[in-house]
Amino acid sequence: MNDATPIVRKGRKFDQVLDGARDVFMVDGFEGASVDDIARAAGVSKATLYSYFPDKRLLFMEVANMECARQSQSAVDFIDMNAAPRDVLCQAGKHFLRFITSKFGQQIFRICVAESDRFPEIGRAFYKSGPERMRAVMGEYFRAAVERGDLDIDDFTLAADQFGELCKADVWPRLMFGVVDTVSDADIDRVVDNAVQTFLARYGT
């Protein structure tokens, strides 16, 4: 399981390969994406691709890591943490739900769930930069809000998880399993408003 041929980053076309791989993986998933397709999408020969990456799996890992890092970076930057809890939660919930219902969020989730059985590193990397990061950020907010007397929470981590799950109700599974293929803003508003209401019924002051 040791990498005799580690990833090589030098060379003019490294980024091209990564971009092409990202595009194809996002459309076709891991098994569904053929290396020929990736090479074509990247505008690169297959031999060149294999000179950068020893195999398909490591190529995907590199793409997934990049993409998760990029997402978690931009995810929670723009919410005003000093507003009233109801507003903070609504903003955060809607932002979150919009992301996980986007074509992009869906596909990353799909691939990570499917492949983390065969390649556990993929799943763990996703968890760290996705759910775990959300936990941390919300936990921090909860701590401050409790200190101000705005919320009454004992287990910050569990509360954060509960909120995230509440936001998924109804709309997310229907999308994930292809019962619908679009989610309206009205749906998002309805679900998140309801999630916030339930959440505050338990943890509000």
Partner DNA sequence: CACAATATAAACTGTTCCGTTCAGTTTCTA
Partner DNA sequence: TAGAAACTGAACGGAACAGTTTATATTGTG
List the beta strands (DSSP E) in 55-171.
none
Asked if 164 and 99 touch (Cβ cutoff 8 Å), the reply is no
Nearer to DNA, 57 or 98 (CB): 57
Residue 44 binding DNA, by CB under 7 A: yes
With CB under 8 A as the contact rule, the residue among 126, 141, 142, 156 that binds a second copy is 126
With CB under 7 A as the contact rule, the residue among 27, 36, 120, 144 that binds DNA is 36
Nearer to a second copy, 17 or 159 (CB): 159
Residue 45 binding DNA, by CB under 7 A: yes
Provide the mask over 182-201, with x wherever binding to a second copy is found by CB under 8 A and - wherever it is not. Answer: ---------x--xx-xxx-x
Nearer to a second copy, 9 or 190 (CB): 190
Residue 3 binding DNA, by CB under 7 A: no
Residue 24 binding DNA, by CB under 7 A: no
Rounded to an integer, what distance in angstroms lies between the CA atom of residue 34 and that of residue 47?
14
The listed partner (a second copy, DNA, none) that binds 34, CB under 5 to 8 Å by sort, is: DNA
Residue 10 binding DNA, by CB under 7 A: yes
Asked if 107 and 29 touch (Cβ cutoff 8 Å), the reply is yes
Asked if 111 and 29 touch (Cβ cutoff 8 Å), the reply is yes
Rounded to an integer, what distance in angstroms lies between the CA atom of residue 5 and that of residue 34?
21
Instruction: Reduce the DSSP state of residue 86 to 3 states and report it.
Output: helix
Describe the chain by its helix, strand, coil percentages, rounded to 5. Answer: 75, 0, 25
Query: For the purposes of burial, counting CB atoms within 10 Å of the CB of 112, is it exposed (0-12), middle (13-18) or buried (19 or more)?
Result: buried
Stretch that binds a second copy, among 14-22, 38-46, 138-146, 172-180 (CB under 8 A): 172-180
Binding interface with DNA (CB under 7 A): 10-14, 32-36, 43-48, 50-52, 54-57
